[in-house]
Chains A and B, each alone.
Chain A
Amino acid sequence: MAESIEEIEFITSLSRPTKGCAGDTGEWRVFRPVKDETKCNNCLICWIYCPEACISKSDIEIDYQYCKGCGICAEECPTKAIVMVKEEKR
């Protein structure tokens, strides 16, 4: 580890994408997307549209630790397999 900025010389706002680098953003959620397995046809449209990459491609699982509850997946789902449910008070 360098002791001072003179040794590093160059520091800018360059960052590498890391899971959870903005914290547990799931705590921001007001509405929770809930999937109805019986209606889901595995089309993966929710996976493509999720802006936070919180839906897994293999089994279409929603990662509630980071899902902000934006509702785009529910809006885009062609079979209405995802509905937004109000979160209980923590």
Chain B
Amino acid sequence: MRVLETGNHLVALAVRAAGVEVVPAYPITPQTQVIEKVAELIAGGHMDAEYIPVESEHSACAALIAASLTGARAFSATSAHGLAYMHEMVHFAAGIRAPVVMANINRALGPGWNIWCDHQDSISQRDTGWLQIYVASHQEVIDSVIQGFKITENWSVMLPLMVNLDAFVLSHTYTDAEVPEIEEVREFLPPYKPRWKLDPRFPVTHGSVVYPDDFSETRQSMQIGQNNARRVIKEVCRDYAEVFGRWHGDMVEEYLIDDAEIAIVAMGTLASESRVVVDVLRQEGLRVGLFRIRFFRPFPIEEIRSLGERVKSILVIDRNYSYGMEGAVFTELKGALYGFSNVPVRNLIVGLGGRDVSYELIADMTRKAISGELGEITWGDSRITPSHRVTLECLEEFKKLLG
């Protein structure tokens, strides 16, 4: 079915196609039209699922976990502060090994209050045990939701999966995309067959007390699941391409890397923007390639070590910041390269709080990186506006008041 839709509505249509049975959600800001559309589909009789409106994102994630433990295929969506508020339960979902998929619309965390795109919200959930996809196009939104259930429900993985899509750029703009029919998806993704459930015939406790004698192994088991996911992700994405004819990469997506001297590394729609940069700079005779990190968790360690062997330098674009350190992807990429490659790596911080990032800006920074002019960490779009001067004006007034 060819549709002209927003990324938000495409998530909802993919959720229906994936045969999701329960959708708990908190339907108030910063929630998006993902849940609005799901509710509409269910209320109109176009989707056979239970919709559970709850009183907070914390409860939404708790209900999501519980729904999954009853043996249902469960989905929810959130964004920014909603994700932050459910943080405790985000850990819980992974620890309890609930194979759920959640869409997160990537937005900045306040203050300053901001509903525009950056990756701070989901990067802050890095260590929860969830798998994280960052998508770069409307079509990839749909395909990642369907792939997501296939990956998370694989018994060797059994860790929840977050599909991250950039606010506004993907969530609120319209593009035509192909949504597979429910019947087509069912063959690729059969109904969820749980290997455990909340069942009065055999009552067990999920998420019970675990004493120091037993705790560490439950965490090591999560890491084994993450490691297994690397193989499962490759299999699922390959099979998906065979069935549906669409490929967005697996752990990563490469574009003109093989003969590249410098690789731009990015996630989400800034990677789409960087693809334009590659084309532009190649016309200037510069050998630039794009390395899009699609899965941030599990982190594509092997792929990055291979990249380190092939290029002469790397420019990492981060749409987030780990305060007191540097961009999170920059840190992780260098960690993966340690002991394997000494290629210089530079960090470009751009697009925080939804600031528009032009391909011209990335191209300019890439040229500087090639010529060696770019420092280790560059806040690439930093400039002072009249609004920033309000702070100084207020401080002047406070000086009069407070001395």
Q: Please give the residue numbers on chain A whose beta carbons come within 8 Å of chain B beta carbons, in ascending order.
A: 5-6, 8-17, 22
- A10–B208 touching, CB < 8 Å: no
Question: Which residues of the partner chain B approach A14 to less than 8 Å between Cβ atoms?
Answer: 196, 204-206, 208
- How close is A3's CB to chain B, nearest CB, in angstroms? 13
Supply 7 further A-B pairs (C-beta < 8 A) apart from A13-B206, A13-B218. Answer: A5-B221, A8-B221, A10-B158, A12-B218, A12-B221, A15-B204, A15-B205
- B210–A13 touching, CB < 8 Å: yes
Question: Which residues of the partner chain A approach B206 to less than 8 Å between Cβ atoms?
Answer: 12-14
Q: A14-B196, A17-B203 are in contact. Are A9 and B208 (CB under 8 A)?
A: no
Question: Which residues of the partner chain B approach A17 to less than 8 Å between Cβ atoms?
Answer: 203-205
Looking at chain B's contact residues, is the secondary structure mostly helix, strand, loop, or mixed? loop
Q: Is B371 positioned at the interface, with any CB of A under 8 Å from its CB?
A: no
- A9–B224 touching, CB < 8 Å: yes
A-B contact count (CB 8 A): 48
Q: How far is the CA of A10 from the CA of B217 in the complex (A)?
A: 9
Q: Is B96 positioned at the interface, with any CB of A under 8 Å from its CB?
A: yes
Question: Which residues of the partner chain B approach A9 to less than 8 Å between Cβ atoms?
Answer: 156, 221, 224
Q: Is B325 positioned at the interface, with any CB of A under 8 Å from its CB?
A: no
- How close is B396's CB to chain A, nearest CB, in angstroms? 56
Q: Which 8 A-B pairs have the closest CB atoms?
A: A15-B208, A11-B221, A12-B97, A15-B205, A11-B217, A13-B210, A13-B207, A11-B218
Query: Closest residue to A10 on the B side, CB-wise?
Result: B221
Q: Is B7 positioned at the interface, with any CB of A under 8 Å from its CB?
A: no
Question: Which residues of the partner chain B approach A5 to less than 8 Å between Cβ atoms?
Answer: 217, 220-221, 224
Within 8 A of A (CB), among B49-104: 95-97
Question: Which residues of the partner chain A approach B220 to less than 8 Å between Cβ atoms?
Answer: 5, 11
- How close is A43's CB to chain B, nearest CB, in angstroms? 26
List 15 A-B residue pairs with CB atoms under 8 Å apart, sorted by A's residue number: A9-B156, A9-B224, A10-B221, A11-B217, A11-B218, A12-B96, A13-B96, A13-B206, A13-B207, A13-B208, A13-B210, A14-B206, A15-B208, A15-B209, A16-B205
Within 8 A of A (CB), among B176-232: 196, 203-210, 217-218, 220-221, 224-225
Question: Which residues of the partner chain B approach A6 to less than 8 Å between Cβ atoms?
Answer: 224
- How close is A52's CB to chain B, nearest CB, in angstroms? 15
Q: B209 contacts which of A11, A12, A22 (Cβ < 8 Å)? A: A22
Q: How far is the CA of A6 from the CA of B203 in the complex (A)?
A: 27
Question: Which residues of the partner chain A approach B158 to less than 8 Å between Cβ atoms?
Answer: 10
- A12–B95 touching, CB < 8 Å: yes
- How close is A82's CB to chain B, nearest CB, in angstroms? 28
Q: How far is the CA of A40 from the CA of B183 in the complex (A)?
A: 63
Query: Closest residue to B219 on the A side, CB-wise?
Result: A11
Q: How far is the CA of A6 from the CA of B217 in the complex (A)?
A: 10
- How close is B96's CB to chain A, nearest CB, in angstroms? 7
Query: Closest residue to B195 on the A side, CB-wise?
Result: A10
Question: Which residues of the partner chain B approach A22 to less than 8 Å between Cβ atoms?
Answer: 209
Q: How far is the CA of A12 from the CA of B157 in the complex (A)?
A: 12
Q: How far is the CA of A24 from the CA of B77 in the complex (A)?
A: 43
Question: Which residues of the partner chain A approach B204 to less than 8 Å between Cβ atoms?
Answer: 14-17
Query: Closest residue to B94 on the A side, CB-wise?
Result: A12
Query: Closest residue to A12 on the B side, CB-wise?
Result: B97
- How close is A13's CB to chain B, nearest CB, in angstroms? 5
Q: How far is the CA of A8 from the CA of B218 in the complex (A)?
A: 11
Question: Which residues of the partner chain B approach A10 to less than 8 Å between Cβ atoms?
Answer: 97, 155, 158, 221, 224-225
- How close is B179's CB to chain A, nearest CB, in angstroms? 34
- How close is B6's CB to chain A, nearest CB, in angstroms? 37
Q: How far is the CA of A5 from the CA of B206 in the complex (A)?
A: 20
Q: How far is the CA of A39 from the CA of B97 in the complex (A)?
A: 50
Q: How far is the CA of A9 from the CA of B218 in the complex (A)?
A: 10
Question: Which residues of the partner chain B approach A8 to less than 8 Å between Cβ atoms?
Answer: 221
- How close is B225's CB to chain A, nearest CB, in angstroms? 8
Q: How far is the CA of A8 from the CA of B224 in the complex (A)?
A: 11
Query: Closest residue to B196 on the A side, CB-wise?
Result: A14
Q: How far is the CA of A10 from the CA of B155 in the complex (A)?
A: 9
